[in-house]
Amino acid sequence: MFLPCTTAELQHLGWDAPDIILVTGDAYIDSPFCGIAVIGRALAADGFRVAVIAQPDTASLDDIRRLGQPRLFWGVSGGCVDSMVANYTATGKKRQRDDFTPGGVNDARPDRAVIAYCNLIRRAFRPCRPLVIGGIEASLRRIAHYDYWSDSVRRPILFDAKADILVYGMGERTVTALARALRDEREWRGLRGICYAQPATDDMLPPDALSLPDYTAVASATPDGRAAFLDMHRLFAANQEPHTAHPLLQRIDTRCLVHTPPDKPLSSAELDAVHAWPFMLDAHPIHAPKGKVRALETIRFSLATHRGCYGECNFCSIAVHQGRQVVSRSERSILEEARRLTHHPAFTGIIQDVGGPTANMYGFECARKMNQVACASKRCLFPVCCPALKPDHSAQVALLKRLSHLPGVRKVFVASGIRPDLIAADTRHGAAYIDELVAHHVSGQLKLAPEHADPGVLRAMGKPGHEALLDFVKHFHAANARHRLKQFLTYYFIAAHPGCCETEMRALKHFVTQHLRLSPEQVQIFTPTPSTWSTAMYYTGIDPFTGRPINVTRGLRAKQAQKEILVSPLRGASTVH
């Protein structure tokens, strides 16, 4: 059954009040792909009574009051995507459609949803139970951060939301430990993976904490302010490994943000347990009158094989939120979940995706990272694949074959993006992986994300050169010919990333025309999102890795012009959607 959303459900369960009420900016889809469902199931598995209020009406207090006050705390999330990213394009236009809203019309999630919902709860309940914020919006805004939509440096979201506690990262272990501590009236400030506020003169501040530049310094729109912002980001990024991170402090007026070290990632067994919880794989019936939730179509019959990403692209928040270490589920767990899918009444025999943040990171990790600690000064895949990583696609090939042979399964697709450089580095099983993909697991198109081709822009992005991409394209087409199939590659590119001007976009246009022979349509304009290296470059105009100035395109027309260079059709070129 679903986590309850209505008073009728509470009465049916015999509850006079929930222990915890989770509030989200998305529809409530009970799926392991949706954070609010995972957190709710984690708490429920630990014995707590959990209810959900999805996309509450912020124009009145009736909606947020419908379940009363929770006994322990409110848990507030903006949804699966930062609400400003969900609501606006990179050029500032309001998005009309939303896959996580019933009916698809983007009219149910407020801007800065975490702040809006916290304000709503405080207005509705005085006094109100503790406000615990989490999810991607809260996690990436947990320290002072550049906000693209206001073009300013904002305070940590804990302060603007007037929340009590922030849980960052994926959060299952942390939020259950926090719930136990609040239930038992025990001290919780020593928990990993949280942020909270303390008076700046408090004797209880962690003695081993490192101090980030204070908010006043980093918010100053001066060269010194931008230098302080980069210093802040460097220190923040250097303290995100669970085994080596120090607590962090950041002063905001008379108070301090206290940022405890990250929690360790879940073990493989713990991740297996998450996917064994009784998810309904559907949107809660409360949403039915408003229409279908489109996101359900892509996630309902998909399988997440792992968490984390060691790609660490500078523009991407996955490593910041999920961690640099890839944790893979056991094959047994994935096969068991697939068998459960086959018994779902809506299952048609097609598993739509087997993957994760990057599909072909399943089943292998760096032994040093697993047994000791991730490298502080090196990356796994940039500028080239580290020899210590030893990519091995054999586990994924075996998994795909076993999934395909399950009774009731007609087809298994890989719809998540893949990294060609990992395949090129796997000299033993890379070719077999390409052949297996092409022969059995491509639903017409396979996703690749080279993002650019200019060497300087790729360096700024933290992306490898295009040699592995071209090698993969050659082998992909050869495998298509071998199996007598006509399948395509979809390429994703970014315009107006720091370091990219019209000259670099013309170079990219030349590359895709000459080497890929297409006119791409999947081109997005770079959106600076909080807590990424690329956003630090965008705000400061400085390359944080060299200390040198970097070109930044800020005008909306200039950004659109970069995109137009790439999407303008050329005679004789194919178009890829």
- CATH code, 77: 3.40.50.280
Confidence of residue 376 (pLDDT cuts 50, 70, 90): confident
The CATH number of residue 566's host domain is 3.30.750.200
> Looking at the domain assignment, is residue 130 inside a domain?
yes
Do 243 and 214 lie in one domain? The reply is: yes
Does 160 reside within a domain?
A: yes
User: Is residue 92 assigned to a domain?
Assistant: yes
Residue 577 has pLDDT above 50, yes or no: no
pLDDT band at 374 (very low <50, low <70, confident <90, very high): confident
Decide: residue 301, CB within 10 A, 0-12 exposed, 13-18 middle, 19+ buried: buried
The answer to whether the CB of 563 falls within 8 A of the CB of 346 is no
> Side chain identity at 331, as an amino acid letter?
E
Single-letter code of the amino acid located at 572: G
Residue 283 in any domain: the answer is no
Reading the block at residue 228, the tokens are 């302080």
Tell me: do 382 and 528 sit in the same domain.
no
Dump pLDDT digits (tens) for 483-492: 999 999 999 9
Residues 407 and 466 in one domain: no
Distance in angstroms (rounded) separating the CA atoms of residues 459 and 506: 17
pLDDT band at 547 (very low <50, low <70, confident <90, very high): very high
Average of per-residue pLDDT values in the chain: 96
CATH value at residue 358: 3.30.750.210
Q: Are 146 and 204 members of one domain?
A: yes
Averaged pLDDT, 183-187: 98
Q: Is 264 among the domain residues?
A: no
Task: Say whether both 415 and 498 belong to one domain.
Answer: no
- pLDDT value, residue 573: 53
CB atoms within 10 A of CB 428: 11
pLDDT score at 70: 99
Number of separate domains in the chain = 3
**What confidence tens digit (pLDDT) does each residue in 197-212 have?**
999 988 889 999 999 9
Whether the per-residue pLDDT at 400 is higher than 60: the answer is yes
Residue 569: its pLDDT value, please? Answer: 75
Indicate the pLDDT class of residue 540, thresholds 50, 70 and 90: very high
Q: What's the pLDDT tens digit per position in 136-159?
A: 999 999 999 999 999 999 999 999
Q: Are 426 and 487 in the same domain? A: no
Peptide bond between residue 127 and the one before it cis (omega within 30 degrees of 0): yes
Q: Which domain holds residue 345?
A: 303-443
In a domain, 176, yes or no: yes
Model confidence at 571, in pLDDT bands (50, 70, 90)? low
Residue 205 belongs to some domain of the structure: yes
pLDDT in tens, 154-178: 999 999 999 999 999 999 999 999 9
Helix (H) or strand (E) holding 70: none
User: Is a pLDDT exceeding 60 seen at residue 278?
Assistant: yes
Same domain, 448 and 401: no
The pLDDT tens digits of the residues spanning 440-474 come to: 999 999 999 999 999 999 999 999 999 999 999 99
Residue 110 binned pLDDT confidence (cut-offs 50, 70, 90): very high
Q: State whether 29 and 153 are in the same domain.
A: yes
The residue with tokens 């980069």 is: 230
What the block records as the tokens of 400 is 């795909």
Q: Work out the pLDDT band at 519, boundaries 50, 70, 90.
A: confident
In three-state secondary structure terms, 224 is helix
- Residue 390, pLDDT above cutoff 80: yes
Task: Note the helical H segments in 325-380.
Answer: 331-342, 367-371
User: Within this chain, do residues 439 and 324 fall inside the same structural domain, yes or no?
Assistant: yes
| Residue 574 pLDDT exceeds 70 | no
- Answer with the one of 259, 288, 316 that is the final residue of a domain: 259
Same domain, 488 and 431: no
pLDDT band at 522 (very low <50, low <70, confident <90, very high): confident
Mean pLDDT of 374-384: 90
Q: What is the pLDDT of residue 106?
A: 98
b/e for 458-487, b at 16 or more Cβ within 10 A?
Answer: bbbbbbbebebbbebbebbeebbeeeeeeb
Instruction: Show which of 443, 464, 491 is a domain's final residue.
Output: 443
- Residue where a domain stops, chosen among 409, 443, 477: 443
Give the residue-averaged pLDDT of 333-358. Answer: 98
Residues 17 and 53 placed together within one structural domain of the fold: yes
Whether residue 236 sits in one domain with residue 135? yes
What confidence category does residue 546 fall into, taking pLDDT thresholds of 50, 70 and 90?
A: very high
The reply to whether 523 falls in a domain is: yes
